[in-house]
Amino acid sequence: IHPTAARRPNYLTVQSQNTSYSDEFITSKFVNRGASVNVSNGQFLVTPTAQTYEFQTKRTVSKTGLMMIGMGGNNGSTLCATILANRHNIVWHTKAGVQQPNYIGSVLRASTVRIGTDSVTGQDVHVPVSDVLPMVHPNDLVLGGWDISGASLDKAMERAQVLDYDLQRQVAPYMALLGKPLPSIYYPDFIAANQEARADNLIPGDDKQAHLEHIRADIRKFKEDNQLDRTVIFWTANTERYSDIIAGVNDTADNLLAAIKSSHSEVSPSTLFAVAAILEGEPFVNGAPQNTFVPGVIELAERHQSFIGGDDLKSGQTKLKSVLAEFLVNAGIKPLSIASYNHLGNNDGHNLSAERQFKSKEISKSSVVDDMVNANRLLYKAPAEDVKGAKGEHPDHIVVIKYVPAVGDSKRAIDEYYSEIFCGGRSTINIFNECEDSLLATPLILDLTILTELLTRVKYRGVDKKEFAPLYPVLSLLSYMLKAPLVKPGTEVVNSLNRQRNALEAFLKACIGIEGSSDLLLETRIW
């Protein structure tokens, strides 16, 4: 057994004919229950459905590396420093007293799931999410990555101005051991011109095929040097502008590979990293809003059965919005407008102050209420059936982001929800949300990495199939942590935070053969 697997024995055992354990696997039977609806002439004919699947989860966690693109940024350096603080149990002094390192803000390490009721007391029993299935402990992640800035990690942490001085002081020697990030690729057209000054750590040349091979070799070397089973490649670099989707260039896997060969100008650095990860068979997660996953990348991931997930970390304003908008609409209240203002003063804010990079963020933040609105045609008019491409009624929704250096990493988000209530009334909710940006984002990067590793170990099969197959390459189960979730083409995006969490919980439970969350609590409603 790899030492990480032994670090916390998996003490949760399911006793059922649906669940079996071997040294290598947990295998569970799961009935996927739903309903198929026939809509005709305003009538709904509903037929319950049930398909039986088996899940097989490898019990030994992989020795896992995390290679971040943008390792020397605020998120990257904060992630490294906080893992090291946890790993070496560094405590530090703040003006409020002594602070212990922890993983607060991580769904996996700091939240629980209700697993059932105590057979003696009848009380609810909750377990940490990370105990439902064997998962990598964040302290065990092997850290590495690239940055166009050559500052060593201790200096990068200092530059970020995120962590308390006393923690920085103590963790700096460990950070210095991580050294400099690997040189990266820099195509100035994709990020804001104001980033140029930090681009001093570059892979030379402008041949994109050579760049791709360089990145692939970096991944292989990192895996080999650290004897890794799995390496998650994670984009936490600056937000890029959107790439144009051009027929013959990035619309199919083959066209994209050819476009890289001919160094086409519309292939972005993030797309190149995604292609490198896919070709190396390692998962790639995009923590920024740009459209890294052009259609050619998705096709390539399908072809290689390699996992991808994105886009954009959902840390502050959007997380709250996906809760609040759902609360309003599900309460039968009609938001008429949602106006969101942000200002922030870190390097991310500086980059987003450029128009084209802001546009990427605006797009990623804008669709978050769509599914809730579309689900309620009592409040919002449906699109006209006879008008092609017509959109249904929708609240006005704007997003503004401004760069205010003074506030540093402490982003301010101001949101106004203006809604129609009973019989012509109006309600206004104003929210002022102060987020320590990188301290909210870092646990999300950890959760995404650890969940991604887990999902590479889960296979499934229909009852009539002999072989177990890996999950579909686009990991939409990561949606909870992502602002604009990437989903299987042709399927609907779920933005509701509650539904995203329920999906994750239900999936983890399905893998150990427990069905449903049973908030019904029927036993408490009957004699």
- Asked whether 201 and 70 are in contact (CB, 8 A), the reply is no
Active site residue 314: no
Q: Containing H/E element for 428?
A: strand 426-436
Token digits for 492? 């609907």
Output the smallest distance, CB 351 to ligand NAD, in A: 6
Compare residues 90 and 440 and give the one whose CB is closer to ligand NAD. Answer: 440
| Binding-residue pattern over the window 314 to 333 for ligand NAD, x denoting contact by CB under 6 A | -x------------------
- Which of these ranges, 118-126, 140-148, 298-306, 447-455, lies near ligand NAD under the rule CB under 6 A? 140-148
> CA 53, CA 35: separation in Å to the nearest integer?
17
Compare residues 238 and 496 and give the one whose CB is closer to ligand NAD. Answer: 238
- Which of these ranges, 1-9, 208-216, 234-242, 331-339, lies near ligand NAD under the rule CB under 6 A? 234-242
Token digits for 517? 């969350």
Fill in the DSSP letter of residue 478: G
> CA 234, CA 64: separation in Å to the nearest integer?
13
Output the smallest distance, CB 236 to ligand NAD, in A: 5
Q: Does the protein bind ligand NAD through residue 288 (CB under 6 A)?
A: yes
Compare residues 61 and 79 and give the one whose CB is closer to ligand NAD. Answer: 79
437, 447, 453, 505: which one binds ligand NAD (CB under 6 A): 437
Output the smallest distance, CB 346 to ligand NAD, in A: 5
269, 296, 408, 443: which one binds ligand NAD (CB under 6 A): 269
- Which of these ranges, 236-244, 391-399, 418-426, 505-513, lies near ligand NAD under the rule CB under 6 A? 236-244
> CA 454, CA 62: separation in Å to the nearest integer?
9
> CA 294, CA 252: separation in Å to the nearest integer?
9
Q: Does the protein bind ligand NAD through residue 74 (CB under 6 A)?
A: yes
Instruction: Give me the catalytic one of 334, 361, 365, 509.
Output: 361
Q: Does the protein bind ligand NAD through residue 129 (CB under 6 A)?
A: no
Compare residues 299 and 447 and give the one whose CB is closer to ligand NAD. Answer: 447
| Residue 36 β-bridge partners | 47
Token digits for 314? 């959902």
Output the smallest distance, CB 262 to ligand NAD, in A: 20
> CA 306, CA 293: separation in Å to the nearest integer?
13
Tell me, letter by letter, the H, E, C secondary structure of 20-72.
Answer: EECCCEEEEEEEEEEEEEEEECCEEEEEEEEEEEEEEEECCCCCEEEEEECCC
Q: Does the protein bind ligand NAD through residue 198 (CB under 6 A)?
A: yes
30, 64, 67, 73: which one binds ligand NAD (CB under 6 A): 73
154, 282, 312, 505: which one binds ligand NAD (CB under 6 A): 312
Q: Does the protein bind ligand NAD through residue 479 (CB under 6 A)?
A: no
Pick from 381, 43, 70, 335: nearest CA to 201: 70
Cα–Cα separations (whole angstroms), residue 29 to 20, 300, 460, 501: 9, 31, 10, 21
Token digits for 360? 């990427």
CA 423 from chain center: how many Å? 40
Active site residue 223: no
Instruction: Annotate 244-255 with b (16+ C-beta within 10 A) or e (fewer).
Output: eeeeebbbbbeb
Active site residue 391: no
30, 92, 146, 507: which one binds ligand NAD (CB under 6 A): 146
154, 311, 326, 348: which one binds ligand NAD (CB under 6 A): 348
Q: Does the protein bind ligand NAD through residue 192 (CB under 6 A)?
A: no
Pick from 368, 286, 366, 352: nearest CA to 319: 368
Output the smallest distance, CB 289 to ligand NAD, in A: 6
Q: Look at strands 284-286 and 230-235 and give their pairing.
A: parallel
Output the smallest distance, CB 121 to ligand NAD, in A: 41
Compare residues 437 and 453 and give the one whose CB is closer to ligand NAD. Answer: 437
Instruction: Give me the catalytic one of 312, 348, 415, 447.
Output: 312
Q: How many CA atoms lie within 13 A of 371 on its CB side?
A: 17
Position 499: which residue type? R
Q: How many CA atoms lie within 13 A of 404 on its CB side?
A: 13
274, 313, 481, 486: which one binds ligand NAD (CB under 6 A): 313
Output the smallest distance, CB 460 to ligand NAD, in A: 31
CA 500 from chain center: how many Å? 11
Q: Does the protein bind ligand NAD through residue 70 (CB under 6 A)?
A: yes
Q: Does the protein bind ligand NAD through residue 148 (CB under 6 A)?
A: yes
Binders of ligand NAD in range 162-191 (CB under 6 A):
184-186, 191
Q: Does the protein bind ligand NAD through residue 399 (CB under 6 A)?
A: no
Angle subtended by helix axes 497-510 and 317-330, to nearest 10: 100
Residue nearest to ligand NAD (CB): 73
Pick from 322, 315, 353: nearest CA to 438: 315
Intra-chain end-to-end CA distance of the chain, in Å: 49
Instruction: Give me the catalytic one of 223, 314, 365, 411.
Output: 411
| Residue 338 β-bridge partners | 397, 417
Q: Does the protein bind ligand NAD through residue 441 (CB under 6 A)?
A: yes
5, 62, 66, 72: which one binds ligand NAD (CB under 6 A): 72
Q: Does the protein bind ligand NAD through residue 239 (CB under 6 A)?
A: yes
Active site residue 488: no
> CA 103, CA 99: separation in Å to the nearest integer?
12
Annotated catalytic residues are 312, 361, 411, 483
Which residue ranges make up the site for ligand NAD (CB under 6 A)? Answer: 69-70, 72-76, 146-149, 184-186, 191, 198, 236-239, 269, 287-288, 312-313, 315, 346-348, 351, 437-438, 440-441
